[in-house]
Amino acid sequence: MFSCILLFAIYLMSSLHDLRVSGSDSHCSVKPVLTPSRLVLRYGDSANVTCEVCGHQGTPKFEKSLGKVTGNNTTAVWIVDKMTEWDITS
């Protein structure tokens, strides 16, 4: 079950490149920038994903069941020291 949720979350993060936001300035991307844009993990791996947005887009947030999220008004970072929640059944 967790792997399905993790894969779905990764899919959603990679799908954000299609997100449209109105009212941007020339110095700011209108889309959230995820680094890395794709993520594949093995059981026990560590990981981190950074999401950056312009100030007028609001504060970025991650939903998580493992790890921690840090950040500020324009950046959120999801950090997992060791991927230990893993369920390959659906």
Q: Residue for token digits 């993790």?
A: 6
What SS3 class is residue 5? Answer: helix
DSSP annotation of 75 = E
Within 10 angstroms of residue 86's Cβ, the number of other Cβ atoms is 14
Q: Which residues fall within 8 angstroms of residue 12, CB to CB, at 6 or more apart? A: none
Q: Which two tokens stand for residue 14?
A: 């990679």
Q: Which pLDDT score, from 0 to 100, does residue 17 have? A: 45
**69-84, pLDDT tens digit by residue?**
998 888 999 999 999 8
What are the phi and psi torsion angles at 3 (to 5°)? -65, -35
**22-49, pLDDT tens digit by residue?**
444 556 677 888 999 999 988 899 999 9
Cross-strand partners of 47 = 80
pTM above 0.95, yes or no: no
